[in-house]
Chain A
Amino acid sequence: MIKFCDVNKWYGGYQALADINAEVKRGEVVVVCGPSGSGKSTLIRTVNRLEEIQSGELMFDGQNVHARMSGTQLNRLRSHIGFVFQSFNLFPHLSALDNIMLSPMKIKGVDRAKAHDKAMQLLDRVGLASKASAHPAQLSGGQQQRVAIARALAMEPPAMLFDEPTSALDPEMVGEVLAVMRSLANEGMTMMCVTHEMGFAREVADRVWFMDAGRIVEIATPDKFFGNPEHPRAKRFLSDLRTRH
């Protein structure tokens, strides 16, 4: 469903992504991890073209994401890819409900009543039906991130991307967000998650991609990766991660 073929990206003279070849199959959950600055955010942001690539090919659901296309085509493509940010990025001037309703109404032309029903359903699903009229600043970080997930789901994307969705949260709120992600995975959603939550990766991921210095240096099942990583950099990364926790 998401396929990278020889993808390279430079920021000026700095190569942020090098020879990326990997695939997320339909219904698969892939966890991307790696040290800070290894290019995880850059990688995930190329999938919906928030970042451009300089060479190679990136397919999403049969479409070449980085082909030359009109703005309208690109917007339509992006609306099929759910994206959840580390910093939530809810729209602070809108209530939780309006955050979720805005895009279906303005982009897909869904009428208000339908959008409202769908949004309430999604809020219920992330356990926040009672917070429909709250503004983002009145919500805790964990609640904001759950609304952000609901907002992305409202566009009914066939795949969801998560860029460190729990890194900005206080530890006691991580669980509630992971629970929502876990239930999505169980329903067969195709997911690409940048995260360092090892428990989540072990339990939910079909595959782990480990990145270092702009390259994917190891692709393995979670059991293999956490039990017996091959790449020396991955070994060091995991032991660092364990000592930190």
Chain B
Amino acid sequence: MLINIYHIIADNWLLLLIGQFPNGPLGGIAATLLLSILGIGLAFPLSILVALARLSPWPVLSWPATALVYVMRGVPLLMIIFWVYFLLPLLIGRIVPGFLAMVCTLVVYEAAFLSEIVRAGIQALPKGQMDAARALGHSHLSAMRYIILPQALYNMIPSILSQFVSTIKETTLGYVINVPELTFAASQINNQLLTQPFEVFFVLASIYFAVCWTLTQLTNWLERRIAAKRAGRGASELLVVDGVAVIKPETVQEVRQ
């Protein structure tokens, strides 16, 4: 069995890595990562807009944004893949390749989820930050741009990375519309061999696990670093406070008395 796994990898590593590229479309783990990066990368700016719209005082903006988030949260990703793949061609009058349909789906779906992360990040900031910005005369948007978002987005980096990990796993669903990604490559191999589904899908699972585990470790590390950075500043604050307390004349007098 280990021998079988070895042979599967030895014979198909290029297919698992980049699919039939350059003779065919890019596939394998390269396509999986590309899908995820495009999905999250394009969803990210969109998610900020959705979050700002949801939090905005104007119902014309907050209602559609809220509706989008609720629909995306309430409907399985597979349904949305089907909608995009089968309905989009009807609307625009031409066939949409699986890869493009999958990217579009991921962008909309992830934008909704990321926007909830962004919204939580904004709302987690102390209310005094917005008060101070408004008191200085910043408009709502100016306050968001220069004061609220820079803090919120920095705090959110780990959450965004873990959403990226979820996205990698979600790209497997592209299989149903023949997107040539990693799962698709594995199932091609399985169809060739016919007799070793356990070994093939074990290899597949291992690859996903290795990639996602690495990224999760990176997320944890970043999370600790960001927390440490806050705590580190806090510690230096204590030091300064102590320093002042020690050298202040009143304190010296108190000690003498």
A and B: interacting chains: yes
- Cα A78 to Cα B137 with chains together (Å): 5
B241 touching A89 by the CB < 8 A rule? no
B151 within 8 A of A: yes
Within the complex, the shortest CB–CB distance from A114 to chain B, in Å, comes to 17
Asked, given contacts A135-B233, A170-B245, whether A155 binds B136 with beta carbons under 8 Å apart, the answer is yes
Which residues of A sit under 8 angstroms from B236, Cβ to Cβ? 137-138
Chain B: minimal CB distance from A179 (Å) = 13
Residues facing A in B119-151 (CB within 8 A) are: 126, 128-129, 131-132, 134-140, 142, 146-147, 150-151
**A79 at interface, CB cutoff 8 A:** yes
Query: Given A138-B237, A138-B240, A173-B244, are A87 and B137 also a contact pair (CB < 8 Å)?
Result: no
Contacts of A140 in B (CB 8 A): 237, 240-241, 244
Taking the closest CB of chain A, its distance from the CB of B182, in whole angstroms, is 38
Cα–Cα distance between A171 and B223 once the two chains are bound (Å)? 36
Q: Is the CB of B135 within 8 A of A83?
A: yes
Which residues of the other chain, A, contact B97 by a CB distance below 8 angstroms? none
Contact flags A128-145 to B (C-beta < 8 A → 1, else 0) = 000000010111111100
Give the residues from 159 to 215 in chain B that come closer than 8 angstroms, CB to CB, to chain A.
none
Give the complex CA separation of A80 and B136 in angstroms.
Answer: 8
A106 in contact with B128 (CB, 8 Å): no
A78 touches B241 (CB 8 A): no
Q: Is B256 an interface residue (CB 8 A)?
A: no
Kindly state the separation between the CA atoms of A205 and B22 in the bound complex, as whole angstroms. 81
Q: Does A241 contact B (CB under 8 A)?
A: no
**Does chain B have a CB within 8 A of A127?**
no
Could you say which residues of chain A place their CB within 8 Å of the CB of B136?
A: 78-79, 83, 103, 107, 151-152, 155
Contact with B along A32-56 (1 / 0, CB 8 A): 0000000000000000101000000
- A237 contacts partner chain B, Cβ-Cβ < 8 Å: no
**What B residues does A92 contact at CB under 8 A?**
151
* Interface range on chain B (Cβ under 8 Å from partner): 20 to 34
Report the separation of the CA atoms of residues A107 and B126 in the bound assembly, to the nearest whole angstrom.
22
A155 surroundings in chain B (CB, below 8 A): 136-137
Give the chain A neighbours of B250 by CB distance below 8 A: 172
Decide if A91 touches B131 in the complex (CB within 8 Å): no
Asked whether any CB of chain A lies closer than 8 Å to the CB of B230, the reply is yes
Residue from A79, A89, A90, A137 within 8 A of B230 (CB atoms): A137
CB nearest to B131 among chain A residues: A50
Complex CA gap A143/B237 in Å reads 11
Stretch at the interface among A22-30, A57-65, A68-76, A228-236: A68-76
What's the nearest-Cβ distance from chain B to residue A166, in Å? 15
When C-beta atoms are compared, the residue in chain B nearest to A172 turns out to be B248
What 0/1 pattern do residues 101 to 134 of A give for CB contact below 8 A with B? 0110011000000000000000000000000000
| B234 interfacial contact with A, CB 8 Å | yes
Given contacts A83-B135, A93-B150, whether A139 and B244 have CB atoms under 8 Å apart is: no
Docked-complex contact B241 and A170, CB < 8 angstroms: yes
Write out the residue numbers on chain B whose beta carbons fall within 8 Å of the beta carbon of A80.
137
Contact A106 B129 (CB under 8 A): no
| Cβ distance B139 to chain A, nearest Cβ, rounded Å | 5
Asked if B217 CB lies within 8 Å of chain A CBs, one says no
Is the beta-carbon distance between B241 and A141 smaller than 8 angstroms? Answer: yes
Q: What CA separation (Å) do A96 and B115 show in the bound complex?
A: 31
Return chain B residues, CB-CB under 8 Å to A75. 134, 137-139
Closest residue of chain A to B145 (Cβ to Cβ) is A106
Chain B residues lying within 8 Å of A78, measured Cβ to Cβ, are 134-137
| B128 CB contacts on chain A under 8 angstroms | 85, 87, 89
Taking a contact as CB atoms under 8 Å apart, the answer to whether A48 and B135 are in contact is yes
B12 an interface residue at 8 Å Cβ cutoff?
Answer: no
Offer 23 A-B interface pairs, CB within 8 angstroms, sorted by A. Answer: A50-B135, A78-B134, A80-B137, A83-B136, A87-B126, A92-B151, A93-B154, A103-B136, A106-B142, A135-B233, A137-B233, A137-B236, A138-B240, A139-B237, A140-B237, A140-B240, A140-B244, A141-B241, A151-B136, A170-B241, A172-B245, A172-B250, A173-B244
Beyond the given pairs A87-B128, A140-B240, 13 more chain A to chain B contacts, judged by CB atoms under 8 angstroms and listed by A's residue number, are A75-B137, A78-B134, A78-B136, A81-B135, A89-B128, A93-B150, A103-B138, A106-B138, A137-B237, A138-B240, A143-B240, A172-B250, A173-B244
The 9 A-B residue pairs with the shortest CB-CB distance in the complex, in nearest-first order: A79-B137, A137-B233, A89-B132, A83-B135, A89-B128, A103-B136, A78-B137, A75-B137, A172-B248
